Amino acid sequence: MRFGHVVSSAVIGLLLSTGLIACATPTTPTDATDPQALATELIDRYAVAVFDRDQEALGNLLSDAYVLRRADGSGYDRQGYLAALAEGSDYDLVNYEITDVQARQDGDILVASFLLEAEILEGGQPVTSEPSYSLVTFVRVDGEWKLASDAFFSQ
């Protein structure tokens, strides 16, 4: 998938630090018999919420137990991540691409990995990130999929 989207400050910093992407549409995700399609839809939902700085959509998607961890050991819990999104960053997202989505489902647990590459503006200068993998876990709670964890493996 490839999206063209200009986003203000907080978005790209959080995107690159999390490696996660998803859609802010409050609809029920795709048929659960196709874990790849379901994971892709949920990742997209997350990305759009982050890109649009839609705290309500993101808050609805994140599990109360949500944790994000980066390769360097830093990270956020749910409250910290929402606060960081509200604060912003010095980057603007120009474009991003998610590829190589691999997903496995076991009942109410969906685990997926994907490759993320992003084009950003830093101080008005274009920068392309190195492709990096993320590993995410979604858990179905009362019929709704919630993002429980995100591990971002930057290079």
Q: Which residue has the higher pLDDT, 11 or 137?
A: 137
Q: Which domains does the chain have, with CATH numbers?
A: 2-153 (3.10.450.50)
Percent with pLDDT over 90 in the chain = 46
Q: Which residue has the higher pLDDT, 105 or 21?
A: 105
In 31-109, alpha helices (H)? 35-51, 55-61, 78-87
Q: Are 80 and 53 in contact (CB under 8 A)?
A: no
Q: How far apart are CA 112 and CA 97, in angstroms?
A: 16
| Model pLDDT, residue 16 | 42
65-74: pLDDT as tens digits = 999 999 999 9
Q: What is the pTM of this model?
A: 0.75
Q: What is the mean pLDDT of the chain?
A: 80
Would the pLDDT of 11 be above 80?
no
